[in-house]
Structure 1
Amino acid sequence: MNTPYSQTALRHNQVFIWLCVLSFFSVLNEMVLNVSLPDIANDFHKLPASANWVNTAFMLTFSIGTALYGKLSDQLGIKKLLLFGIMVNGFGSIIGFVGHSFFPVLILARFIQGAGAAAFPALVMVAVVRYIPKENRGKAFGLIGSLVAMGEGVGPAIGGMIAHYIHWSYLLLIPTATVITVPFLMKLLEKEERVSGRFDMTGIILMSAGIVFFLLFTTSYRLSFLIISILAFLIFVRHIRKTQDPFVDPALGKNVLFMMGVLCGGLIFGTAAGFVSMVPYMMKDVHHLSTAAIGSGIMFPGTMSVIIFGYIGGLLVDRKGSLYVLTIGIVLMSSSFLIAAFFIGAAPWLMTVIIVFVFGGLSFTKTVISTIVSGSLKQKEAGAGMSLLNFTSFLSEGTGISIAGGLLSIRLLNQRLLPVNADHSAYLYSNMLILFAGIVIMSWLVTVNVYKRSRRND
């Protein structure tokens, strides 16, 4: 006979299983369309600057939504928000599939998908804290992290195979699989009391406007978009300094180590995302590979290596320290970019190896940035600070994808600056790889300098 305790434990385990399903699909939705960006650009006769908005649109609402759901969870409860996110995500998928022949409808669908999928990373972690006993949370977070890494890994392979053998539009239907969790979560999740609270909608609108217009600037390079973006951010900063319970705590801006960790981490994450979005274009233009070959042969080994490198990075931080692991990560990324830049015309398998080390360096860097940022925060700042780090990380990835698409479209770097043993089509990609290496090295130098100064002042 089951005791009340065993029944409760069984229900919590069932909740956790469905949360794992949502965690896997949230990242899969982010990665699965990446290898199809050249095909989408070709189908709609669009430049990469426009085609990359298929991913940028998703990441934009995904990043903002992550912060929103986290703020709202205390007021509205997990159950309502999680079910809302699942339904919105599925609704966006259906709109995208039905209207995939119309580019504006496709972009709108990706906006909607991101707004729904944002509920998964934001609320799953909160749900684990509320439903999983403290002694089992470490295993729970570890399993979710592994599933997220697996979603990142298999996403390009699945995306490449479906796009090549069927059509990329069917990738939009994958998130509808999360709808199967709805009846179980409705039954298993507890009803929560609604807590009254204030919500800074003005701050969200101002910040969102600044982000959108900046991304539009990186796509079209129209000065008017940049001016509007700067004005929106200036008004936003003024607003959060005066309002009660602002969307972003202005006190965090006084923490130099925190701000530098967030900004430099954002630059590195954005650069890596820009590189990943560029790889399909590069492999098609330079090596004329199929979408399936790019997803399975070029991208898949690198994205799966995140699981191994993430574990190694965590061990090294404890044993060797943050700066040691950060330096290794930056060396792996920058040297990989430089080797790819000089040998871009070499055999495609070389790019497979390079992507493995780029993702390895990125795993090391993410581990260190999280450690540095969390260590710079006081206990009362931890929640707001880590939430801002997650928001910035997701947003920087969308920004990196947008900027990479803009650079590929205006072809400002399409000059032979290096002794590259390849035809003219490789020059642009080679020069962009040099730019990527310079950005991550600069970010490393700033982070190390600020970190050492903060340690001397302690």
Structure 2
Amino acid sequence: MTPPNKHEHATLDASDKKRLIILVCTILAFAVMNGTMFNVAIPDIAASFNLSPSEVSWVLTSYILVFAIGSLMYGKLADIYPIKTLFTIGISIFSLGAFIGFLSPNYPTLLAARILQAVGGATIPALAFIVPIRFLPKEKGRVFGLISSTVAFASGVGPIIGGVVGGTLNWRFLFLFSVATALAIPLFRKWLPDEEKREGSIDLPGAALMAISVASLLFYITLLSWYLLVSFIVFFILFLWRTFTIKQPFIDPVILKNTKYTITVLTSFLGTSALFGLIFVIPIMLRDLNELSTLNIGLVLFPGAMAAGLIGQFGGKIIEQKGATVVVKLALILIASGTFFISTFSGYNAWVIAPCLLIAYLGFPLIQSSTADLLSTILPDNQNGVGMGIFNLLNFMAGAFSSAIFGRLLDMKNVSFVMNPLSRTNDNLIYSNLYLGLSLIAIIALVIFTLKFLSKREKSLSESPVS
């Protein structure tokens, strides 16, 4: 009899695999664009309901908060319940929330719709990274590359689509993209293999403590109120206490004791933080130093997003041929190089910045795909769901950290010290310093990762006595 903590890999033929990969990537693109499309619609939503900036910001904040926590929860659920069932429930809730948002007569209804969307939509990225592990184990490196490229491409294209649809029609029509995801439900029901429910249970009190601590931290990052930091510390300590004192905690502490796992997710967090910092600061810099319009800023960003969308197949092949550790290092080198070049050339013509941005953008799908592939080999089958859930949660938190921290740093005035001696010393100084900081973050991640994942030959050379 097969042990309950093991997952049997279903046998799929080549055509089934191709259809499943296309379906997962398509639905993931819709989910990612749902988040980024609304960024450009915020002014229109505020005008429609006569909202202040702080009020309308909850359209994005509430979605990100619930989405981040949900990605961890669905990862845990995937260790117990069939993926087909979770996709069906999640996409149904996601589409329902979008339909309510399209019809929303007032702001509270719109906010409820966005939260409902996040509750359901969190299934999509959470399960997208688990599907290759569960059903496509031999091709997972290549599939992770495609998935990560989809995320990078959709992140770049989303604001452009949002601007076009919102500008020509109305911001409400952005919700119809999400309503359309309901069409994928029968395809998932047909193409995903059947699975039995596995033994296990959800530690609901532990999940609640984790959710409250994460929410407190994300709110603290945004609002910088001391009581939120105290709330995070208290609830996180309670979560750790429960995790180490009950038999079946929400997160198995064995995962946290696995140093290869923790170093890999830390590497992903640092690399993703640098990328989100790049994405957050670059439009502000192009508007401030180059005086570009929103459309022209989008045109500067678009080549990088396109290149990131195309690099996934290449990155996936390197993962399969050379291993994920090689691609992790390559991704961090690209991120560090691109941000260093932007630090050096900030203040130059925007078309000098574009190729520098493209170099850094290439690291986006590579860091995601390579760390996801590495995690799938580090963890046993019965921990892959929650392990990938933590991975997704930290990636979302990386975005929140970067936006809050670099937003605060951009408020600094009269910066006089020069971190990059190759840069111009004029109005670009704050941007030059910030981008050099991003480069250093990527280098730190590279050093930490390299020290942990030395090859056997490198280890033997480093441990051999010097004659």
TM-score in same-fold range (> 0.5): yes
Match of 1:344 among 338, 343, 346: 346
CA distance in 1, matches of 2:52, 2:225: 21
Q: Return closer, same or farther for 1:164/1:226 CA change in 2, 3 Å cut-off.
A: same
Matches within 5 A, 1:370-449: 370-377=372-379, 381-408=383-410, 411-412=411-412, 415-418=415-418, 424=427, 426-449=428-451
Q: Return closer, same or farther for 1:338/1:20 CA change in 2, 3 Å cut-off.
A: closer
Q: Return closer, same or farther for 1:347/1:57 CA change in 2, 3 Å cut-off.
A: farther
Matches within 5 A, 1:218-237: 218-237=221-240
Identify which range, 132-141 or 313-322, moves more after superposition.
132-141
CA distance in 1, matches of 2:32, 2:103: 23
CA distance in 1, matches of 2:316, 2:186: 37
Q: Return closer, same or farther for 1:57/1:428 CA change in 2, 3 Å cut-off.
A: farther
CA contact (8 A) 2:346 2:432 kept: yes
CA contact (8 A) 1:162 1:171 kept: yes
CA distance in 2, matches of 1:134, 1:361: 24
1:217 aligns with 2:220: yes
CA contact (8 A) 1:93 1:172 kept: yes
By how many angstroms is 1:236 displaced? 0.8
Letter in structure 1 aligned against 2:97: G
Q: What SS does the corresponding residue of 1:156 show, helix, strand or coil?
A: helix
Q: What SS does the corresponding residue of 1:452 show, helix, strand or coil?
A: coil
Q: Return closer, same or farther for 1:366/1:148 CA change in 2, 3 Å cut-off.
A: closer
Residue number in structure 2 paired with 1:118: 122
Residue number in structure 1 paired with 2:96: 91
Residue number in structure 2 paired with 1:311: 313
Identify which range, 253-262 or 30-39, moves more after superposition.
30-39
Q: Return closer, same or farther for 1:359/1:101 CA change in 2, 3 Å cut-off.
A: farther
By how many angstroms is 1:179 displaced? 2.6
CA contact (8 A) 1:58 1:113 kept: yes
Q: Return closer, same or farther for 1:382/1:122 CA change in 2, 3 Å cut-off.
A: closer
Letter in structure 2 aligned against 1:259: T
Q: Return closer, same or farther for 1:141/1:327 CA change in 2, 3 Å cut-off.
A: closer
Residue number in structure 1 paired with 2:4: none
1:287 aligns with 2:290: yes
CA distance in 1, matches of 2:198, 2:383: 21
CA contact (8 A) 1:414 1:431 kept: no
By how many angstroms is 1:246 displaced? 1.8
CA distance in 1, matches of 2:89, 2:349: 47
Report the TM-score when normalising by structure 1: 0.78
CA distance in 1, matches of 2:166, 2:416: 33
CA distance in 2, matches of 1:428, 1:435: 11
CA distance in 2, matches of 1:318, 1:17: 20
Matches within 5 A, 1:164-203: 164-166=167-169, 168=171, 170-182=173-185, 197-203=200-206
Structure 2: runs of 5 or more not aligned: 1-12
Residue number in structure 2 paired with 1:46: 53
Provide, for residues 293-348 of structure 1, a one-character-per-residue CA deviation record: whole Å limited to 9, x for no partner: 333x1222111212343333344456666665444433322232233234322222
Provide, for residues 161-200 of structure 1, a one-character-per-residue CA deviation record: whole Å limited to 9, x for no partner: 3345555554344212213334666688788776674211
Matches within 5 A, 1:261-272: 261-272=264-275
Residue number in structure 2 paired with 1:72: 77
CA distance in 2, matches of 1:100, 1:341: 46
CA contact (8 A) 1:240 1:246 kept: yes
Identify which range, 308-317 or 37-46, moves more after superposition.
37-46
Residue number in structure 1 paired with 2:8: none
Q: Return closer, same or farther for 1:315/1:12 CA change in 2, 3 Å cut-off.
A: closer
CA distance in 2, matches of 1:451, 1:139: 21
Match of 2:364 among 362, 365, 369: 362
Residue number in structure 1 paired with 2:7: none
Q: Return closer, same or farther for 1:319/1:75 CA change in 2, 3 Å cut-off.
A: closer
Identify which range, 169-178 or 436-445, moves more after superposition.
169-178
CA distance in 1, matches of 2:173, 2:200: 41
CA contact (8 A) 1:160 1:294 kept: no
Q: Return closer, same or farther for 1:57/1:256 CA change in 2, 3 Å cut-off.
A: same
Q: What SS does the corresponding residue of 1:370 show, helix, strand or coil?
A: helix
CA distance in 2, matches of 1:136, 1:375: 13
Letter in structure 2 aligned against 1:93: A
CA distance in 2, matches of 1:328, 1:83: 37
Report the TM-score when normalising by structure 2: 0.77
CA contact (8 A) 1:274 1:402 kept: no
**RMSD (Å), alpha carbons:** 4.2
